[in-house]
Amino acid sequence: MEIDKLNDKDVALYALYLLGGWQKRVHTEDVALRCHQLAPSRFSWVKYPEYPDLAPARFALEAAKKPKFGALVEGESERKRTSKNAGGWRLTENGVRWIEANKSRIEQCLGGRIPPADRLPEDRRLKELLRTTAFEKFERYGEKAEISHAEFAESLICTVNTKAEVLNERLKQLYCTAEELKRDEVKKFVNFCQKKFASLLREKEG
């Protein structure tokens, strides 16, 4: 069977991708359920195969997080949730590239109709960004753009009082979305903001 050519990591990462994990954190149970839908024989209970098994998906994600496997995801199980770690999983930039390189292989092995990743919210978010004052200034002036703190925060749908950890998270989401949707101008904007507002992104952390 073609499915036997895939390992659990292949299926778990592809499931995470389908659930929008290239731009947001996804709950472990949601990943396990999608894995069960894609490859039920691999991600189900033994005695009751109609139920998805959480363990194989979680183990695969935890393995994919390790540097020796490419650090393809970031996050943690919800059981390990702390005040700083919200739980859930998201593809890293390396993970998005891995998906791009392996998506065709995985879909061929899975066979049948594969549901497309939902991009509507992300497309809408990028359109909102393109209309912001900060992005318009960057498009016009590039690295010389004079963008205020308020304009930067507004481009991320935040305020001047938003904490650094939230700003960093929004920038990371935006970059991953741009990576997936092939929007280099947005990636350049994120890199520019990270440099220009470096002190702001550090000073309020914690």
Residue 200 is encoded by which pair of tokens? 């702001």
Residue ranges per structural domain of the chain: 2-110, 120-203
Question: How many Å apart are CA 16 and CA 162, to the nearest integer?
Answer: 28
CATH of segment(s) 2-110: 1.10.10
The pLDDT-based confidence of 22 (bands split at 50, 70, 90) is confident
What sign results for the dihedral spanned by CA atoms 90, 9, 40, 51? negative
pLDDT at 205 over 50: no
User: Looking at the whole model, is its pTM more than 0.85?
Assistant: no
Question: How many Å apart are CA 99 and CA 122, to the nearest integer?
Answer: 17
Question: How many Å apart are CA 7 and CA 19, to the nearest integer?
Answer: 19
Give 148-194 pLDDT, tens digit per residue: 999 999 999 899 999 998 899 889 888 888 887 788 999 999 999 99
Element (DSSP H or E) covering residue 192: helix 184-196
Q: What is the pLDDT of residue 185?
A: 94
* 3-state SS, residue 52: strand
Q: In 10 A of CB 157, how many CB atoms?
A: 12
